Amino acid sequence: MRTVFDNISAPRPLARGIHLLAIVALCIGLVLVPTDAFAKKRKKKVVRVKLSDIFTIDVSLRSGRKVINQELACYKKKPGRISETRKGLAFNSLDDQLKKMRQAGKQKSKKYKLTARLLKASKKDCANPKFLALTRYKGNFGEKEAKILFERFAFGGSPQQIDRAVRIGLAATVTELTTYQPDARIDAQVADITCDTYLATNPWNGEPDNRNESCNPYYANDFRTDGLRKALSWRMTYSNQPFFDRLFFWLHDERLSVNLSVVGSDERHALATYVGIVDRAARTGDYKQYMRSLNTDHLMALDWLDGAVNRGFNPNENWAREFWELGTTGPSDLNGNPVYSNFDIAQAALAHSGWTFVTEDRTIPGEDDERRFRYASFTPGFHYQGPTTIFGGTPHQAVVYDADDVLEATFRHPSTAESLALDMCHQFIRPDCPAILVRDLAKTIRTENYNLLPAFRRVMMSNAVYANDNRESLIKHPVELLIGFVRQTGINLTVDELDWWLNELDQRPLNPNSVFGWNETALAGESYVLAWRNVVLDIVNGLSPESLLENRGYDMHARYLSDNPSALVAIDRVASGLNIPLNEAQRQALEQYMNFHRTTCRSWHVQSYGCTEGELFLERRQFDSYPQGNWDDKLRPLIGLLAMLPEYRMK
Amino acid sequence: MKKASRMNRRGFLSTVCAGTCGAAIHQASYGGSGMFAYGAPPVMGAMSAPGSVFILVNLAGGCSYNITPIYHAAWRDRNPTISRGPENSLALNGEQGLHPAFTYLKQIYDEGNLALINGVGLPSQSRSHDEATTQWFRANGQGGNADGGWAARLTSQAAGSLFSGISLAGTNDLIRGGTNPPRALSDLANFGEDRLYWNDEWTGFFRDTRDSVMAQSSTQQTDGMQFVKSSMENIQRSLEIIKAETSRPLPGIPDAFPNTGFARACQDAAKLIAAPALGVRFIFLQQGGYDTHSNEINSHNNLFGQLHGGLRSLIQTAKALGRWNDVSIATMSEFCRTVENGNGGTDHGAKAPLMLMGGDVAGRVVNPAPSDAEIRAAGSFLSGYDVDFRQIYREAVTRMGFNADLIFPNTISFSPLGLFR
């Protein structure tokens, strides 16, 4: 067989010696150098990470006139870069990168220098990231910060609320917001609207409404379901305790949700009971008691999630599943491992069993005929008698006999606090929540025995909420858009208007389409952009200053233009009220809008404006903020225009 | 106020029903994979054959196997009040049929254009609505980090048209991500923006100023802000074009579109198919209400009746337009359900039947229904899966000329089922 060596002529003796030496050297080299190098290559260390364990920071470096912006990942307090591999995410720390470059003798390369600068600039933020820290915020608490606080935790603040917050400071504002005080005025209005959907008198001018009826206080089903819904929208908009209403909305409409329309007229009392449970949870912050109450709640557990047809001998898993998935532990822990198995759900369903619905006719004072009532009743025969085991095979395994046992075992499970903390973080701090932050918040929740108010106070006063990196990172719910708009502008809307426009935005409180409640990202999609624009235009088109003043005591001119300001001052005032930051270019574009009118060029315009007849041109119509001026033509559109900007969707 | 005279825009949004919010909640972009939430996958050049359209119909809530009744004794025994036999269903073969509501779909089957695939699911099929819907929408597979939903990955390859994908059921994980995500609409009939002071001149200046102010924004570009901005930009561009293209009347068909929410969405889908200038390649439809924990038989009669009414008219329109050979319609549901639970309903299960229809579909019962022995041996539900759902959609998108490897990563090893002629 011929080989490549066949073509090589035989070497001479000297050359042969050199060849021999070369071969020996090569062998030595092969033995020493490559073995080590290959071994290293084979054992290349890859740090696999989970998304929940990392967070990202932005680093800006100046290089001459250039500004270099880089996004870095932090893992175990070290800055680095993340890459996707077939097996998942790999983390490569800047430290390691520098080390490798040093080993390769590249200390003088541009890449080495840049990496070293990045490391220096990012080390502190990775070790102690303020935007993820629940440590106490000690920076300035001015108008900007007060607006963040109110937008995130209280549907947005009125100018008076913002002024007061700045005056009394962060700690006092948080205490005020999170300390529940009964409000007889709003409670009476809520009861009035709940009864028949109408207020007895116009709250702004005191005129009676002849559609108003009264309800029988002895008859628990004597109210309107849509009245209850409208009353809650009203309370969210006009209550002096907006934090508790925001918390109500979070508990009900964003976590474990129920649609009020599921009940029949003989069980309407269940709606009021349910709202009472959520109210109590929001006002006391006692989450464990909340879940205990829901465990046997007619509306949520028994009707909506089928608990009343869950028999020990014929189980229905619906409530058992959602109790964990949406109410407590969540389906997986922070590392992505499942918290419970399907077998656990089947076991828990047995423990939850035993409830059913009973119907009977009752005599009610004040009612001529007997009234039918459907109510929940525990029937021991329907309850699974033996013990069952949940969280089997885990350190949290528990033997349970009934729903209360399931509750206790669930609240001993670390995932319950972590799931709550994760949800709080998503809704109130930032959309992506690394484990470092979640675990810290979960610790507070556990320490406070699942009372959420201390945890909320901590969040509201934390660096994380006011950090630049987290600003404009959360998308407002449609409810927050509309109610915030009313609170910020002071334009009073009636009960029906609120309900109508929330319906247009497809988000009437207590009316979610599924047990998962709402999702603000979905509700910021394209069709909803259009819906919000049309609601804003409805308000702008439909509510003239005259009618607002006459029927609702709302003086638009006094609110924005009392000192007869220029267009620019008016623009800044409206933008500030809506908490929309404007840059110079945007202010100029708006000033042009305020001082000009786009119209079709007519013959009489041609000489003065040099326009071509029939074409659109800008005719100067100076904004006149005096009461007798043209201010209304532009002020209302200005408010609408700003409310349509993407900045207004963010908080 | 002009409220009373205006159409209720709830109708406009109403198709965003149970599954939309459900599907979208706890989205992976929020938390789980925030870093990749709105990134862009690789974009291929325009490579798809012109014209073909894939319509995905989501039966949200988890549709039970009784959509395609199994006749085995074991199935009948374990579903005593809700199962059906050949006597009260539309038999496809000796062991399985279609729900009696689907008379027209039976005709399509007889014409050889409906394929029924049994035991469809995925590895680690979740039984949570939220997780399972996310799994089906993102179609990532185990540990995958592919960007966004698979429909967004598909339309990224059809970059030639802004309207290559349309969701007629709002926004969700399926259509998020990529470089050219499907547009989220709800209702073509009420599609439009109101006017300022009901005056065109005022409105034009107002809108132009708004758009100019928006374009000059220098606010921090968070992921959320980018999403909101892109939604606003997309709706802006979409409004006029879609309205113009879909305003033409549809051809006459034997069975008019019924007056139900789902049928109206089907009618909108038909309008999109009838407007080839839009370049629509993917349409998402959704019908909610399949979470039938109790009283399933009545719920199914109602739901399947509506589903059938909408699909029948949609298929008839596609045929009348001469486009039936370009159209594939596939169903999905986040999971199947258990056997009967004693309340005349079913709980959350796993593997499910899936229907695929189209003029080019090689219609048949592709694989056998779960056997009597399997049903007897099963716990309360049929676990595991016989066919990975991505295998089915993969064949459909390949047929359309797309690069399925980019749409369904980590699925290259599937052997073809031969779903198309």
In this prediction, residues B41-52 reach a mean pLDDT of 44
- Residues from chain A that touch B186, judged by Cβ atoms under 8 A, are 527
Phi, psi of A266, deg, nearest 5: -85, 0
A531/B238 touch (CB, cutoff 8 Å), yes or no: no
Asked if A309 reaches chain B (Cβ–Cβ under 8 Å), the answer is yes
A252 vs A279: CA distance, rounded Å:
10
In this prediction, residues B186-196 reach a mean pLDDT of 79
- Residues from chain A that touch B193, judged by Cβ atoms under 8 A, are 530, 533-534, 537
In this prediction, residues A185-189 reach a mean pLDDT of 96
Q: Dump pLDDT digits (tens) for B365-421.
A: 999 999 999 999 998 899 889 999 999 999 999 999 999 988 998 777 788 899 999
Confirm if A300 and A278 have CB atoms less than 8 A apart. no
Asked if B7 reaches chain A (Cβ–Cβ under 8 Å), the answer is no
Residue A291, helix vs strand vs coil: helix
Asked if A534 reaches chain B (Cβ–Cβ under 8 Å), the answer is yes
The candidate with the shortest Cα–Cα distance to B266, out of B83, B32, B56, is B56
Per-residue confidence (pLDDT) for residue B28, from 0 to 100: 27
Cα pseudo-dihedral A647, B2, B7, B9, rounded to 10? 20
Neighbours of B301 (CB within 10 A): 13
Per-residue confidence (pLDDT) for residue B17, from 0 to 100: 31
In this prediction, residues A624-640 reach a mean pLDDT of 95
Asked if A377 reaches chain B (Cβ–Cβ under 8 Å), the answer is no
Number of H helices, E strands in chain B: 13, 13
B105 vs B90: CA distance, rounded Å:
10
Give the ipTM: 0.82
B20/A522 touch (CB, cutoff 8 Å), yes or no: yes
Q: Is the pLDDT score of A13 beyond 60? A: no
Would you place residue B25 in the very low, low, confident or very high pLDDT band (cuts 50, 70, 90)? Answer: very low
Residue B168, helix vs strand vs coil: coil
Q: Dump pLDDT digits (tens) for A113-146.
A: 989 999 998 888 888 787 888 999 999 999 999 9
Q: Is residue B392 within a helix (H) or strand (E), and if so which, with residue range?
A: helix B389-399
Token output for A218: 């002895």
Q: Over pLDDT 90: what percentage of chain A? A: 71
Cross-strand bridge partners of residue B55: B283, B329
- The residue that leads in pLDDT, B405 or A391, is A391
CA distances A383 to A291, A311, A314, A392, Å, are: 20, 6, 10, 21
B228/A56 touch (CB, cutoff 8 Å), yes or no: no
Per-residue confidence (pLDDT) for residue B148, from 0 to 100: 78
A338 vs A330: CA distance, rounded Å:
9
Per-residue confidence (pLDDT) for residue B146, from 0 to 100: 60
| Helix pair A452-460, A414-428: axis angle to 10 deg | 40
Phi, psi of A616, deg, nearest 5: -80, 140
Q: Is the pLDDT score of A39 beyond 60? A: no
CA B15 remoteness from chain centre: 12
The candidate with the shortest Cα–Cα distance to A461, out of A241, A176, A159, A149, is A149
The candidate with the shortest Cα–Cα distance to A351, out of A393, A296, A298, is A296
Mean pLDDT of chain B: 84
CA distance B50 to chain A (A): 26
In this prediction, residues B283-303 reach a mean pLDDT of 95
In this prediction, residues B295-318 reach a mean pLDDT of 97
B357 vs A488: CA distance, rounded Å:
52
Asked if B165 reaches chain A (Cβ–Cβ under 8 Å), the answer is no
CA distances A564 to A545, A568, A642, Å, are: 16, 11, 20
Asked if A651 reaches chain B (Cβ–Cβ under 8 Å), the answer is no
- Residues from chain A that touch B14, judged by Cβ atoms under 8 A, are 506
In this prediction, residues A493-498 reach a mean pLDDT of 95
A540 vs A636: CA distance, rounded Å:
6
Q: Name the residue among B212, B218, B227 with its Cβ closest to that of A524.
A: B227
Q: Dump pLDDT digits (tens) for B198-251.
A: 888 899 999 999 999 999 988 777 888 888 998 888 887 777 788 888 888 999
Cross-strand bridge partners of residue B329: B55, B357
Would you place residue A26 in the very low, low, confident or very high pLDDT band (cuts 50, 70, 90)? Answer: low
B27/A521 touch (CB, cutoff 8 Å), yes or no: yes
| Helix pair A631-643, A567-577: axis angle to 10 deg | 40
CA distance A122 to chain B (A): 18
Per-residue confidence (pLDDT) for residue A528, from 0 to 100: 81
The candidate with the shortest Cα–Cα distance to B180, out of B199, B190, B165, is B165
CA A432 remoteness from chain centre: 11
Per-residue confidence (pLDDT) for residue A412, from 0 to 100: 98
B126/A331 touch (CB, cutoff 8 Å), yes or no: yes
Q: Which amino acid is at A14?
A: L
Per-residue confidence (pLDDT) for residue B411, from 0 to 100: 77
B289 vs B299: CA distance, rounded Å:
8
Token output for B58: 């989501």
CA distances A349 to A305, A310, A313, Å, are: 12, 7, 11
CA distance B6 to chain A (A): 10
Token output for B154: 């598909």
Q: Which of residues 75-94 of A touch B (CB under 8 A)?
A: 82, 84, 87-89
Mean pLDDT of chain A: 89
Cβ-based neighbours of A26, under 8 Å, separated by 6 or more? none
The candidate with the shortest Cα–Cα distance to B340, out of B366, B384, B375, B372, is B375
Confirm if B55 and B285 have CB atoms less than 8 A apart. yes
DSSP letters for A575-587: HHHTT----HHHH
Token pair 């007619």 in the structure block, residue: A298
Per-residue confidence (pLDDT) for residue B96, from 0 to 100: 97
Q: Is the pLDDT score of B101 beyond 60? A: yes
Candidate from A294-308, A371-385, A548-562, B172-186 with smallest mean pLDDT: B172-186
- Residues from chain B that touch A537, judged by Cβ atoms under 8 A, are 193-196
A529 vs A531: CA distance, rounded Å:
5
Residue B327, helix vs strand vs coil: strand
CA distances A55 to A215, A418, A568, Å, are: 55, 17, 41
Rounded (5°) CA angle B155-B158-B161: 100
Cβ-based neighbours of A310, under 8 Å, separated by 6 or more? A316, A317, A318, A319, A320, A349, A352, A353, A354, A355
Rounded (5°) CA angle B3-B4-B6: 70
A398 vs A404: CA distance, rounded Å:
12
DSSP letters for A562-619: TT---HHHHHHHHHHHTT----HHHHHHHHHHHHEEEEE--HHHHHHH-PPTTSEEEE
Q: Dump pLDDT digits (tens) for A410-433.
A: 999 999 999 999 999 999 999 888
The candidate with the shortest Cα–Cα distance to A509, out of A476, A480, A472, is A480
Q: Dump pLDDT digits (tens) for B105-155.
A: 999 999 999 999 999 998 877 888 877 888 899 887 644 456 678 999 999
Asked if A58 reaches chain B (Cβ–Cβ under 8 Å), the answer is no
Q: Dump pLDDT digits (tens) for A224-274.
A: 988 999 999 999 999 999 999 999 999 998 888 887 777 888 999 999 999
A431/B31 touch (CB, cutoff 8 Å), yes or no: yes
Confirm if B89 and B69 have CB atoms less than 8 A apart. yes
CA distance B111 to chain A (A): 38
DSSP state of A311: B
A534/B193 touch (CB, cutoff 8 Å), yes or no: yes
Rounded (5°) CA angle A605-A610-A614: 55
Whether this prediction's pTM lies above 0.80 is answered by no
CA distance A582 to chain B (A): 8
Q: Dump pLDDT digits (tens) for A98-122.
A: 999 999 999 889 899 989 999 998 8
Per-residue confidence (pLDDT) for residue B1, from 0 to 100: 30
Count of pairs with CB atoms under 8 A, one residue in A, one in B = 271
Measure the N-to-C terminal CA separation of chain B; round to a whole number of Å.
58
Q: Which of residues 194-213 of B touch A (CB under 8 A)?
A: 194-198, 201-202, 204-206, 208-210, 212-213
